[in-house]
Structure 1
Amino acid sequence: MARAATTSDVFNAIAEPQRREILVLLRAGERPVTEVARELRITQPGASKHLRVLREVGLVRDRKAGKQRLYGLDARGLRPVHEWTGGFEQYWNESFDRLDAYVQDLNRREEND
């Protein structure tokens, strides 16, 4: 089965590790493409390509600032990812609760021996 285009949705866009790194980098604030490229040790054309994909799916916004273009995080675009992963929160909480109960049971057994 062919993989969907990276610009088809947020999930496909963030499947690429460097794009996730760009999002982390942009959490600290707006940056020009040259700084993104330097920080991630990738080429400027490579950074531009990743930023374009992130912009097209709504995770990054850009604005003109003098002669350069600044890119910033638009975290509202992560809502579908947050909602999807949030569905697993109950699963993990229940798993950790079971693990905690098991460890407490082991500790009680050790104390009684």
Structure 2
Amino acid sequence: MSLPNGEPGDRPTGVAYEQAVAARSAGGGQATPYDPLKLCVYATVALLAWVFGAWAVLGFAALGFAGYWRARRAGLTRSKCYLRDTRLVLAYLGLIALAAVAAIVLPHVSR
């Protein structure tokens, strides 16, 4: 299937594709290769969460919440996060923090 301008109808989308298109148009036609830095960051965060458990999850959730709180107060209402609306992102990070607190506290609560 083709679009009216002759481009394929099932063209790729997403952040990596958009970055490549932006780099190609900014660099005079020369596209720089996509750097999968985010994947390295995700693996590092997963490793820290695995090693430090709920404490790492709580720390990252609190750090993310503080960052989005500050950005929202500065006027950011739409995020590049999948949830888009910063209120939803704050709620999501708050729930993660509460789950981490529960995972830390519940084993120490006597029955």
Greater C-alpha Rg: 1
TM-score (structure 1 length as normaliser): 0.27
Q: Which has the higher strand share?
A: 1
Which structure carries more relative contact order (alpha carbon 8 Å, separation 6+)? Answer: 1
Superposition TM-score, scaled by structure 2 size: 0.28
